[in-house]
């Protein structure tokens, strides 16, 4: 009975993608002039693990391609080859290629091997001493032709150097007696994978001993009762062979000795039998097959595997010292499906609601007579808050998961743009919610690409400006007041005030005579389609982006602002909530309806002075707050609610802000602040303008959470300044 390996596919893909991330980050750290051996070892171990696991699961394309790049890495770590910058470039391209292959396999799609063939040829050129061609992703119309050339080259092009190496190397036949522990399969180790790796070293003959296989009643599918005698003819050393068994050596009886090359009979694979089939037949002998199929006489099974492509090439010789680290990691972490965590978060949310309901119920009684109830409720509140915070931390991940994509991107784009750029990453262990992290990735990519393309100057321009040739981009993350702050800073040329103004006037965004402050001019870059780029490039400058960046951030209940000094650089500051599941809100009354305003959006609340309220063209009222004119939004008009009064003098104004846009919301009463659990409405209802979600209050009633960004858009607020107000819509509209 065989084990269904498909159940482990998800773990394989997760670990393989993590391995690729290790390879990429380590490659970016490498200094070709002073190569760190441990960094090379970590890259090699990651590649070796991906190759072995891919082979186990039958993903031959991945295993074969990884083997080629692993060979180059092994030569570098053994000191047989000097690492060059072009090697690093090739390895980084290989990481991208492997990531694409694994993604296709994960989606059950056909793997496109066109790029891997081109890269394999480049690796072979390096390994065989030829001048490598610059690998590139082939065009779709060239793939078939290039594939044919690659296949033909693989079959016929054996260099003279390779032939000489094969002739000069001393062939040794090694006898490997392998008696595994009975629980070998339970540890996730697979003999077939190890035999495949041995077969890549040379010619392998496999003999299986099935003498200890019990009868049907005593047979367990996860117990290994087989042992093997392996005969490997190769140029490799004993240390290299021992590395194949490094994961099972502590729990198995393994004896490796050199022989005279005479094998002890057995059933050899025929010429028409593939290496894969021959080894598989030896691993699962007829004696075991007969248990579930038909009676047969048990006999040893022997397979001869063909000589591997790399028989004359150096291979790994150092045991990977990562086993202990892996075991330690397994004991301190666990993979949990995101659905399970979401369910747990929802349950905690219900607990918060229950606690709130009990708290309100307790307040309606004479607490002097119900002292114990009061104490119990206080304890429940304390425990609920602790549980809530603990559960929310489960979803928290360090922002390094997002930051890790930028070293590679900055390296590649700086070469493309001909610029020298240093990337600094600060606060990488700052944590935020997984959902927030996933959605903030694209806006950050756009901001960094803009800094690379438009912000930082070329080395020549920087020298002329009295700056170092190497520019700096800094990504910094930290917590502040229940939010996470992400800063994207560069020491480039900053925003060009005159260019922005000219472009805005030319596009009709502002009037020809309109006077704006520096802050307001910088805010213009967030206008839809706004760009001062003189030409479109592959990096940025297509006139779409910054408005989308702001909109995406606002959808996360966050904000973005920019500060720039011409000639010195720019800083973009993003403010985000730590989580999208919990919200600190201000409860307000509008008529008989209770709404919630996110506290992060509130600037202040006040009783209006009617002398400071003016009625402007288009039917909109504005309120003068110190030096600003702030549009007034009457929530009863927006949502069609009957207010207690329409007299603004008897109402309250809550001033809210998103970005640099402020509005004053007219409310009947302020009810207090409360932390609420956000419930999405779009699962059961279509999107409601001005509403971001709902929550259940302590008395069991449902309260709607206001979407401040949406409200500002609904009111038609376009721009405000100390000198006046510009509206693109003349009236607020009712929902």
Q: What is the DSSP string of 80-144?
A: SS---HHHHHHHHHHHHHHHHHHHHHHTT-----HHHHHHHHHHHHHHTT-------PPPGGGHH
In a domain, 67, yes or no: yes
**Out of 143-157, 342-356, 460-474, 671-685, which region has the weakest mean confidence (pLDDT)?**
143-157
- Total Cβ atoms within 10 A of residue 332: 6
Instruction: Strand 702-706: give its sheet, edge to edge.
Output: 669-677, 582-590, 593-598, 702-706, 691-696
Q: What is the pLDDT of residue 475?
A: 96
526-579 pLDDT per residue, tens: 887 676 665 555 555 444 468 888 888 888 878 888 999 999 999 999 988 877
Q: Are residues 545 and 412 in the same domain?
A: yes
Orientation angle between helical segments 60-77 and 114-127, nearest 10 degrees: 30
**Average pLDDT rounded to a whole number, residues 182-193:** 77
Domain boundary residue among 157, 185, 219?
157
390-418 pLDDT per residue, tens: 777 787 888 988 898 899 889 988 988 99
Q: Are residues 104 and 215 in the same domain?
A: no
In a domain, 533, yes or no: yes
Nearest Cα neighbor of 178 from 200, 159, 205 is: 205
Domain of 561 in residue numbering reads as 398-577
Are 664 and 654 in contact by the 8 Å Cβ rule? The answer is: yes
- What totals of helices (H) and strands (E) does the chain contain, helices first? 23, 25
From residue 32, alpha-carbon distances to 36, 72, 92, 318 in Å are: 9, 14, 14, 22
Please state whether beta strands 470-480 and 420-426 pair in parallel, antiparallel, or not at all (unpaired): parallel
- Total Cβ atoms within 10 A of residue 546: 24
In a domain, 232, yes or no: yes
Q: Which residue has the higher pLDDT, 698 or 335?
A: 698
H-helix or E-strand spanning residue 433: strand 431-433
pLDDT at 339 over 80: no
From residue 722, alpha-carbon distances to 257, 625, 730 in Å are: 88, 10, 20
Q: Are residues 572 and 586 in the same domain?
A: no
C-alpha to C-alpha distance for 64 and 73, rounded to whole angstroms: 15
Scanning the structure block, which residue is given the tokens 């793997």?
Answer: 111
Q: What is the pLDDT of residue 7?
A: 66
pLDDT at 19 over 50: yes
Q: What are phi and psi of 657, to 5 degrees?
A: -140, 135
Q: Are residues 571 and 586 in the same domain?
A: no
Are 395 and 431 in contact by the 8 Å Cβ rule? The answer is: no
Q: What is the pLDDT of residue 551?
A: 83
For residue 39, the Cα-to-chain-centroid distance in whole angstroms is 22
Orientation angle between helical segments 371-394 and 338-363, nearest 10 degrees: 160
Handedness of CA 151, 153, 154, 156 (dihedral sign): positive
In a domain, 50, yes or no: yes
Q: Are residues 254 and 203 in the same domain?
A: yes
**Average pLDDT rounded to a whole number, residues 167-192:** 79
Domain boundary residue among 549, 577, 605?
577
Handedness of CA 483, 488, 494, 495 (dihedral sign): negative
**Average pLDDT rounded to a whole number, residues 691-712:** 85
Q: What is the pLDDT of residue 493?
A: 92
Q: Are residues 120 and 176 in the same domain?
A: no
Q: Are residues 557 and 611 in the same domain?
A: no
| % of residues, the chain, pLDDT over 90 | 17
- For residue 626, the domain's CATH number is 2.40.50.180
Q: Are residues 45 and 191 in the same domain?
A: no
SS3 392: helix
Angle at the Cα of 48 (from 42 to 50), degrees rounded to 5? Answer: 105
C-alpha to C-alpha distance for 197 and 520, rounded to whole angstroms: 64
Nearest Cα neighbor of 395 from 479, 346, 333, 338 is: 338
**Average pLDDT rounded to a whole number, residues 715-721:** 48
Across the chain, what does the average pLDDT equal? 76
C-alpha to C-alpha distance for 671 and 642, rounded to whole angstroms: 18
Q: What are phi and psi of 104, to 5 degrees?
A: -65, -45
For the chain, the domain total comes to: 5
20-31 pLDDT per residue, tens: 988 998 898 888
Q: Are residues 185 and 255 in the same domain?
A: yes
Q: How confident is the model at residue 655 (pLDDT cuts 50, 70, 90)?
A: very high
Token digits of residue 26? 């380590």
Q: Are residues 184 and 291 in the same domain?
A: yes
665-688 pLDDT per residue, tens: 999 999 988 888 888 776 677 777
C-alpha to C-alpha distance for 56 and 8, rounded to whole angstroms: 11
In a domain, 732, yes or no: no
In a domain, 554, yes or no: yes
Q: Are residues 420 and 498 in the same domain?
A: yes
Q: What is the largest CA-CA distance in the chain?
A: 108
In a domain, 734, yes or no: no
**Out of 48-57, 281-290, 539-548, which region has the weakest mean confidence (pLDDT)?**
281-290
Q: Are residues 191 and 147 in the same domain?
A: no
From residue 295, alpha-carbon distances to 278, 288, 290, 292, 605 in Å are: 22, 10, 5, 9, 88
C-alpha to C-alpha distance for 489 and 475, rounded to whole angstroms: 7
Domain boundary residue among 577, 601, 616?
577
- Count of CA atoms in the C-beta half-sphere (13 A) of 66: 28
> In sequence order, what are the beta bridge partners of 470?
420
Nearest Cα neighbor of 224 from 252, 195, 255 is: 252
pLDDT at 356 over 80: no
In a domain, 115, yes or no: yes
Q: For 525, which DSSP code?
A: G
């Amino acid at each position: 009975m065989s084990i269904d390996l498909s159940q482990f596919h998800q773990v394989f893909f997760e670990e393989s993608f993590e391995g690729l991330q290790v390879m990429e980050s380590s490659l970016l750290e490498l200094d070709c002039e002073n190569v760190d051996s441990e960094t090379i070892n970590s890259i090699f171990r990651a590649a070796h693990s991906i190759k072995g696991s891919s082979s186990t699961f039958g993903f031959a394309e991945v295993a074969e391609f990884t083997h080629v790049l692993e060979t180059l890495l092994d030569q570098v770590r053994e000191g047989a080859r000097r690492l060059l910058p072009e090697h690093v470039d090739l390895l980084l391209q290989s990481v991208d290629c492997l990531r694409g292959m694994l993604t296709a396999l994960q989606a059950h799609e056909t793997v496109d091997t066109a790029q891997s063939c081109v890269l394999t040829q480049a690796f072979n050129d390096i390994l065989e001493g030829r001048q490598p061609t610059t690998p590139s992703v082939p065009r779709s119309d060239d793939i078939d032709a290039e594939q044919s050339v690659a296949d033909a080259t693989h079959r016929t092009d054996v260099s003279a150097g390779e032939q000489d190496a094969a002739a000069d190397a001393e062939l040794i036949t090694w006898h490997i007696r392998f008696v595994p522990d009975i629980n070998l399969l339970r540890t996730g180790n697979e003999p077939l994978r190890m035999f495949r790796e041995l077969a890549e070293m040379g010619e392998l003959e496999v003999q299986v001993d099935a003498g200890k296989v019990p009868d049907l009643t005593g047979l367990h599918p996860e117990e290994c009762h087989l042992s093997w005698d392996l005969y490997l003819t190769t140029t490799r050393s004993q240390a290299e062979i021992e590395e194949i068994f490094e994961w099972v050596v502590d729990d198995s009886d393994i004896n490796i000795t050199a022989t005279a090359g005479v094998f002890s009979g057995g059933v050899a694979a025929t010429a028409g039998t593939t290496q894969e089939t021959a080894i598989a037949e030896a691993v699962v002998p007829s004696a075991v097959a007969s248990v579930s199929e038909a009676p047969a006489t048990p006999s040893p099974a022997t397979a001869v595997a063909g000589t591997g492509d790399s028989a004359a090439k150096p291979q790994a010789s150092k045991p990977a010292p990562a086993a202990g680290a892996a075991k330690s990691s397994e004991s301190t972490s666990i993979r949990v499906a995101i659905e399970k965590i979401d369910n747990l978060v929802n349950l905690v949310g219900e607990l918060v609601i229950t606690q709130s309901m009990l708290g309100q119920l307790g307040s309606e009684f004479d607490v002097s007579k119900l002292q114990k109830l009061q104490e119990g409720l206080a304890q429940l509140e304390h425990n609920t808050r602790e549980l809530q915070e603990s559960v929310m931390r489960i979803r928290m991940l360090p922002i390094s998961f997002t930051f890790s994509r930028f070293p590679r991107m900055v390296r590649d784009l700086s070469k493309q743009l001909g610029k020298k750029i240093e990337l600094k990453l600060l606060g990488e262990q700052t944590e935020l919610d997984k959902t927030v992290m996933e959605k903030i990735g694209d806006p950050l990519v756009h901001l960094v690409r803009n800094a690379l393309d438009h912000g930082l100057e070329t080395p020549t321009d920087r020298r002329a400006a009295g700056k170092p040739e190497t520019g700096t981009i800094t990504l910094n993350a930290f917590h502040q007041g229940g939010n996470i702050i992400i800063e994207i800073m560069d020491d480039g040329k900053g925003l060009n005030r005159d260019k922005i103004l000219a472009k805005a006037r030319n596009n009709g965004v502002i009037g020809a005579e309109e006077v704006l402050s520096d802050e307001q001019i910088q805010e213009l870059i967030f206008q839809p389609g706004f760009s001062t780029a003189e030409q479109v490039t592959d990096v940025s400058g297509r006139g779409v982006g910054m408005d989308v960046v702001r909109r995406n951030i606002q959808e996360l209940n966050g904000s973005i602002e920019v500060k720039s000094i011409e000639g010195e650089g720019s800083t973009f500051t993003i403010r985000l909530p730590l989580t999208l599941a919990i919200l600190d809100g201000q409860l307000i009354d509008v008529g008989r309806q209770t709404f919630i305003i996110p506290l992060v959006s509130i600037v202040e609340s006040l009783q209006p002075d009617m002398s400071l309220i003016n009625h402007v063209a288009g039917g909109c009222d504005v309120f003068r707050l110190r030096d600003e004119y702030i549009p007034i939004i009457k929530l009863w008009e927006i949502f069609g609610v009957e207010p207690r009064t329409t007299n603004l003098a008897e109402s309250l104004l809550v001033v809210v802000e998103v970005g640099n846009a402020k509005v004053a919301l007219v409310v009947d009463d302020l009810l207090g602040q409360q932390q609420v659990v956000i419930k999405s409405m779009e699962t059961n209802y279509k999107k409601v303008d001005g509403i971001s979600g709902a929550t259940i209050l302590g008395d069991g009633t449902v309260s709607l959470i206001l979407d401040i960004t949406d409200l500002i858009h609904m009111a038609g607020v376009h721009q405000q300044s100390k000198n006046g107000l510009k509206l693109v819509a003349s009236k607020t509209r009712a929902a």
